[in-house]
Chains A and B, each alone.
Chain A
Amino acid sequence: MTQFSRTTALCLLSVFFFLAGCSGNSTSTTREVQTLSSVNGYVGAANVRNATLYAVPVNVQGQPSTEINDLNQEVYLGSVSSSTTVGFYRADVKKEYIGGAMVFIAESKANNSSVRVCELVNGCGSDWAYRQVKAVPRVTDEGSTVAKEGSFRLLGAVGNIQNNTRVNVNWITHLAADHAYTSYIDEVGDQEAAPETPRDGMFTPFTIERGNIWLSRQFGLSDVVSIRPIAPSEMHNDPGLSAVLRQEGILYGLLLAAGQKLALDAGQNEVEWLRDVVAQQRQLGGQLYLNNSSGFSLAVLYQAALDIAEEHQQLLQSSSLAIPPQLPAVIEILRNKANQLSAVAEGTRSDIRVDAEEINNWVDRFENAKEFLKDTNERLLNYKGDDPKTCGVYAGEDCVNSFIDPAYVAKTIGYYDGLNALYRQVGPGLDQALRELRDHSLDFIRCLNDDVSCVSSRYNAVNKTYQSGTLTLTLSPVELGLDNEDEGIFNAFDFLITGTQTVNYTDGNGAAATLPILYKQPKSTNSSGEEIIQKARLRIVYDEQSALPPLTAVDDGLGNLAVGHVQPLGFDVEWPDVEITLPDSQALNLYFATKLIGVRDVLDEASLYHYNVTEVSLSLLMRGRVLGSITEDGKSVELRNLAQLGLSAKPNNAANFYSETVWPELDDLLTIRPGYDADVIQPGLFSYKLQEEAQVVLKVTNNVPQYVTADYFQVTIASLGIERFEVFTDTTGTFLRKCSVPLSGDDASRELGKVCSATQSVAADFDLLDDLIYGEDDYLGLFSIPGRGGYRPDFPEKASFVNEATVDGKLVAVFSQGLDQLNMRAAHELVNEQVQDDTTTVSRAPMAIVDMKLTSPSKDNWEVAIAAGYDYDYLVDVLPTGKRAQSIYLSYLVRELPGEGDQRFFTELGGLIIFRGGVKLFTDDPEGESLGMTLASRVDYELGGTELPCGVVNRDDAIREGNCNAVAYLTFRNSLVAVIREERPGVYVARFSDGTFFILGG
């Protein structure tokens, strides 16, 4: 804090001393500052292009403001803009409209140039293929250009517009705006409490916010107005969002695209379809049918979204495009929701409620946000209660609040100090246990192969077991379920580990010690409902089948394999439950699993397997001694200190990256194989053939092949495989699909043996030469060569193209092993002990948890997310939450963007969610309320200059002059209230829209 204070003081004073600025020299420059006078958002599922977008203030009558223009026409007041090719718009907002309600209206342009992209893989109709555009509906009277009912028109609204606010306009925000605009009256005379007849009403800030919260709740989204929807057809592109926002964006985009599918299924255009959904919402008083056999229901909507998601997953799997890591989770959400909704009774309505208090809380959000930020700032500065004036420790009125109870911090530190001391004591024993286990396994294999070096006294040839003390290794052949497995010979063998391994060792204090390690055999149920016993095992997988595991060896590090030995294809270790008894009645239970796969350079026949980890999981549970008992729910419960650590990692490209070392090392991550840089040419790697009007197998039904006439382009990759791209037309349209064709066999058998992946609709005039090979869309993608990377055929110029030839391959994407995901979770539950006289009473101390997720597919592209919570009751997604919870969720994403030549551009995106339960700042409720604050930051810069550092990651590197844009947006209850920027190095300033500011820190 001292450093910060001095930095701040210097900055605050130095301006006055002759423009020295904070940089300590005279070259301090003002970085580009974003002007705060516009709003932005996405139209449709970010797939409506060139639509007119009106940003219209709401007048005192609650209607969008209009004026009479020079042509005596009534036009909207406010600003007009247009959506871009990615469905994005930015509209200016006059300062006088800031803080007021505003309606956003998307309409089609008079010349029918407003278009929408088809998001359905199988096309949106016979004349509208996937990813192709079509003009949005526009209905006019003959001779008129004025759009009338039936034309494309979508609304979105916000009750309090602020600078830089994001306001989406799509069919869901349209429902929200309609809900806000609809009043219900009692036409019958007996509906005083809940009038049911809908009538057009008026927009007010209250009704608009209610509508937005209402529809957000209806569709399970955090905020339909501000969350960025990601068009399904673009989900493979990195949107530059953190994982959490990208997942919600994909989900939002799929729900929006589901409207397209439902309209198609209903034989309507999307305007007609939405009209019916609006009518249902009005008829049901703002609710929608959860399940309904006729017409719209949430069940069919989620099923449609699920279908679209799965079709895209298949399409991306069959192409070289990246599948978003969040897509499987989104599919799971949609599947669960679709199943749940389809199970409810027909005609069931949703039951959305929004309390008036929830909306009223928006009214004072400026003041509340400032107060909350001030209070949070104070607590974060004194996170662990280090300040001697911490409230609770210090009784004065000027006490400083802390984020975590200092007494709890002291208790936690003491507990982990104890664990550290314990580890120092038993650590050497654990190391020795692993060494002994490895030696036993190798000796067992030698015994199985009658090798003379086998310790025969431990080997039981009849039972195929190996025993050391009470520890037993048992051989168990494994059927992997492969197509070519023969009876009695196997590709894999398990070495099952049972019993207790007793390790005699010298502990960290030099004393002789014994460590009993029990390999437990937990029971579980398989997918068939059968009870199975899980045993600790080491599985070795081989390329070739055999009755017994062969003498096994690996590369000796010099590229040699011991004579007469076989190198395994991979290893699979799983220890479901190992219990280690520790001193002082403590115990450690661990689960450990890892898989290693062997990789060789397929274009180098002499290369041996080097092993990469494909996945690893570790779970530790540390149980202290029983400290006492309490009664909970009428039952006596023993309390003890518990600590849990879970760790799992999944590297990417493990099956493709050829490491320099035999066994996996940390250095293998985020590096490339030496000598295989991009642009290296592999002569004659590909041969291709372009064939027109061939009879190809479309599908095989009941062993009867069905043929279709297709044009195809076939690429043979060395001796590794054949990829074929087939284009054919049927009654529903023109389609492109990708097939893997067997290398061996005659033409007929290879045709029958081919495996084709997802089919996508393409334009009717799709041409193999113009579109597939030389088109802008990368349909061919890259061809993956294990051990090397992704190669692209070096086709000749289009004019020199011949229908059949051999071409070189150019290495375009070099394989590098990154981390698909690293998850770590540490949690503990401690026990409070109160000693009074001779009696000790115990109680549960608050729970604490730290959860970390890291993805790092390459060195300069990574994302980390850390959630830390204290005194939480439960987890909402990753955020520890509860009545008294104090938690932080921090995510940071770094992307290197392509630049020309040596240029290196970086984007850093940060997200910080602070959740605090029991906040009594704005409520009289003695239990307080739960409040959340969100910070989103974005930093863009280019490396390689002389200016000040920028961002967090490349902090030690200078950036190019004047090219640091760093800004964080503070949202409070989903409304942008402040912008936070590092205005001077180390000085972070929060500026609110009303002109007030404060410098974070203290």
Chain B
Amino acid sequence: MVRSLFSGADVHRSVPGRFRPGLLFFLLCLLAAAANADEVFSRVSVLGSSEPVPVYDMVNGWDADFRRGSLAYADARIQSGFRLSGWTLAYERRGYYYLGFSRDTSEFYNNLEQGIDTGRRYELDLKVQTLSLRGVRLSYALNYRSFTIEPVLTYYRVGDYQIGSLNGFSEGSGDLEVSALLDYYFNEDKLLEYPANAGDGRGISAGLSLSYQQGDWLMSASLQDLFNRFELPNAAFTRGCINLAGSAQAVCSGNGAASGVSGDADYRTDIPLTFEAQAQYTPWNLKLDYYRHENYQRLSARKSWPTMIGTLGVSAHSTRQFGLHWSSRWHELSVAADDADWQAARELQLQLGLRFPW
């Protein structure tokens, strides 16, 4: 039953005899404090990391310097919205890519790409999760003295997605023997060409930002995707067994080079938590930052200087990145990479934000 939101009787029933003027005053204070930061904004943020090959090659083909690695991760977002009286409402497009794999898997794949035949055995273990999302993000900043708490809720529509795992091994030289189990969900078959008829998925993600200022110190932490769930109706799937050249110790049995079943089924997935903590000493304009997402983690230090054209800064990262930063009341620009040639960089970060405060 739908009940009127303006039903006075219900309002009274919901807080019978428990009206507290102190709480209302507290909330009004929060609103007043937040009102100072009203703005319209648009920002792009990209964080990319690829251990085996540069990020550019990860996308375009493994041609460059290879290192045995176990991770490739990217989280790219474009947000446009406004902040008003502590409320933030934004439209967000997000691309999330997380690939976890064994070092053997990366070497095996590189060998395939480069036509290298080592003849040794490789243990294959690969997990993939890529989601293309668009949605509406809503948050509200609650200030209490030196504390700020900002819960964030984002409703997503899921566009393209590729989720799967592969486990098995490869061995032999010449006639390559590969035996692996495949479990793959998708809206468009990048592996073969199963005609997927998946509809748009939907999901929700809740996060929390905390900050605390004590004297010259500003401490903050954010928990992104603290709780999230994505429903993928009618997702196409392929579950199968790959057996190239008929290995004697196959992890599964099937027909031909690979066999299995494809079909459509509802699927549910979620994204791991992203945790970020910062500590800033304002007199020195010095900031320390810790970022973690599953197996990806990074420690950063950043020093800034106020200038005539805004705040300029440099940063150093545990991932061997070096960053440059420039911000003002109207914008924020940050670039960090582990190589001056962006096509050769394995660690990349880009942030560009424009805001129009009033």
Task: Name the one of A12, A20, A30, A983 contacting B242, with C-beta atoms under 8 angstroms.
Answer: A12
Q: Is B27 an interface residue (CB 8 A)?
A: no
Q: Is B28 an interface residue (CB 8 A)?
A: no
> Would you give 11 A-B contacts (Cβ < 8 Å), ordered by A?
A1-B245, A2-B175, A13-B108, A19-B130, A20-B59, A30-B188, A983-B189, A983-B192, A997-B259, A1001-B256, A1001-B257
Q: In the complex the two chains form, is A998's CB within 8 Å of B59's CB?
A: no
Instruction: Flag the segment in B1-9, B150-158, B260-268 that touches A.
Output: B260-268
CB distance from B163 to the nearest CB of A (A): 10
Q: Is B204 an interface residue (CB 8 A)?
A: no
Alpha-carbon distance between A6 and B114 when the two chains are bound, in angstroms: 11
Please, which residue of chain B has its CB at the minimum distance from the CB of A10? B112
Alpha-carbon distance between A371 and B263 when the two chains are bound, in angstroms: 21
Q: In the complex the two chains form, is A15's CB within 8 Å of B242's CB?
A: no
Interface residues of B in 85-133 (CB under 8 A from A): 97, 99, 101, 108-109, 112-113, 115, 126, 128, 130
Q: In the complex the two chains form, is B60's CB within 8 Å of A16's CB?
A: no
Alpha-carbon distance between A16 and B101 when the two chains are bound, in angstroms: 10
Q: Is B81 an interface residue (CB 8 A)?
A: no
- Interface size, chain A (Cβ < 8 Å): 50
Q: In the complex the two chains form, is A984's CB within 8 Å of B192's CB?
A: yes
The chain A residues found within 8 Å of chain B, CB to CB, are 1-2, 4-6, 8-21, 24-26, 28, 30-31, 33-36, 370, 373-374, 377, 398, 400, 981, 983-984, 987, 989-991, 995-1002
Q: Given contacts A2-B175, A15-B162, A1002-B244, could you give 18 more A-B pairs where the C-beta distance is less than 8 Å?
A: A1-B175, A5-B175, A8-B257, A11-B191, A12-B242, A13-B109, A16-B99, A17-B109, A20-B61, A30-B188, A35-B195, A370-B255, A377-B255, A997-B261, A998-B255, A998-B260, A999-B259, A1002-B246
Q: In the complex the two chains form, is A16's CB within 8 Å of B128's CB?
A: yes
Alpha-carbon distance between A12 and B170 when the two chains are bound, in angstroms: 13
Alpha-carbon distance between A5 and B245 when the two chains are bound, in angstroms: 7
Supposing A12-B242, A18-B58 touch, asked if A1002 and B128 sit within 8 A by C-beta, the answer is: no
Task: Name the one of B62, B130, B244, B255 contacting A8, with C-beta atoms under 8 angstroms.
Answer: B244
Q: In the complex the two chains form, is B193's CB within 8 Å of A989's CB?
A: yes
Choose among B175, B182, B243, B244 the residue with the greatest number of A CB atoms under 10 Å from its CB: B244
CB distance from B188 to the nearest CB of A (A): 6
Chain A interface helix/strand/loop/mixed: mixed
Interface residues of B in 28-82 (CB under 8 A from A): 58-62, 72
Please, which residue of chain A has its CB at the minimum distance from the CB of B108? A13
Task: Name the one of A21, A374, A995 contacting B255, with C-beta atoms under 8 angstroms.
Answer: A374
Interface string of B161-184 (1 = CB under 8 A from A): 010101000100011101010101
Task: Name the one of A8, A16, A370 contacting B258, with C-beta atoms under 8 angstroms.
Answer: A8
Q: Is B240 an interface residue (CB 8 A)?
A: yes
Q: In the complex the two chains form, is B190's CB within 8 Å of A21's CB?
A: yes
Closest 7 CB pairs of A and B: A998-B259, A33-B195, A983-B193, A15-B190, A998-B256, A999-B257, A374-B255
Q: In the complex the two chains form, is B261's CB within 8 Å of A996's CB?
A: yes
Alpha-carbon distance between A33 and B58 when the two chains are bound, in angstroms: 28
Q: Is B199 an interface residue (CB 8 A)?
A: no
Alpha-carbon distance between A1 and B190 when the two chains are bound, in angstroms: 23
Please, which residue of chain B has its CB at the minimum distance from the CB of A36? B195
Alpha-carbon distance between A6 and B176 when the two chains are bound, in angstroms: 7
Supposing A6-B112, A25-B60 touch, asked if A18 and B188 sit within 8 A by C-beta, the answer is: no
CB distance from A921 to the nearest CB of B (A): 13
Alpha-carbon distance between A19 and B128 when the two chains are bound, in angstroms: 11
Alpha-carbon distance between A400 and B246 when the two chains are bound, in angstroms: 10
Q: Which residues of B contact A1002 (CB under 8 A)?
A: 243-246, 256-257
Alpha-carbon distance between A2 and B115 when the two chains are bound, in angstroms: 11
Q: Which residues of B contact A2 (CB under 8 A)?
A: 174-176
Alpha-carbon distance between A28 and B242 when the two chains are bound, in angstroms: 22
Q: In the complex the two chains form, is B244's CB within 8 Å of A17's CB?
A: no
Q: In the complex the two chains form, is A18's CB within 8 Å of B191's CB?
A: no
Alpha-carbon distance between A210 and B110 when the two chains are bound, in angstroms: 56
Q: In the complex the two chains form, is A16's CB within 8 Å of B259's CB?
A: no
Q: Which residues of B contact A12 (CB under 8 A)?
A: 166, 178, 180, 182, 191, 242, 258
Alpha-carbon distance between A990 and B192 when the two chains are bound, in angstroms: 11
Q: Which residues of B contact A16 (CB under 8 A)?
A: 99, 101, 126, 128, 162, 164, 166
Alpha-carbon distance between A14 and B191 when the two chains are bound, in angstroms: 8
